[in-house]
Amino acid sequence: MIFIECDRVAVDSLVELLAKEYPNYEIYAGIKKPVLKIRLADREASIVIIAREGKTRREVEGAHPKLEKCLVDLLYYSEKGILPISLHDIVDLWEHYLTGTNLIKFSELYRYSLRRYLGWFVSIFAYHLSKKTTLKIDERHFKNGMKNLELLKLVST
């Protein structure tokens, strides 16, 4: 899966160009919320184009979004049913990055997840992972995760 962030005015021409260059890729595009533009039965991969205002670029180093932002966006789009990725696959991906090497900064992941209204999930997930393995994360996240999980259990019963 490839993520591209571009200016609002460039979306349609970028979809057209990428459809010619990558005929075996499904293409999702839209302003803040990508919609399936090109559907294929047999696809090699997917391209997601997210349009933003040209003057406001968030969480970008050079020309590439940070890994933390991509992980949160994948969770958000999967949870909303926008992209055809199961939540189980996303959770496995998160576990891989959080328990593996120190490629991601949990504090940045958590901050961005708060902007996407997913901070509760991140704290619960951190609490869940802390039961399995040792994480280099501030213990306040584990306590918040435990409280959020208790609240969810209370509401669901």
- Given a cut of 60, whether residue 57 has pLDDT beyond it is no
CB proximity list for 22: less than 8 A, separation 6 or greater: 44, 45, 47
- CA 39 → CA 11, 27, 121, 157, distances in Å? 17, 7, 31, 40
pLDDT at residue 60, rounded to an integer: 47
Are 67 and 30 spatial neighbours (Cβ–Cβ below 8 Å)? Answer: no
pLDDT (tens digit per residue) in 8-32: 777 888 888 888 888 888 888 887 6
- Given a cut of 50, whether residue 33 has pLDDT beyond it is yes
pLDDT (tens digit per residue) in 64-107: 678 888 888 888 888 887 777 788 888 888 888 888 766 778 88
Q: Could you give phi then psi for residue 35, rounded to 5 degrees?
A: -120, 145
pLDDT at residue 8, rounded to an integer: 78
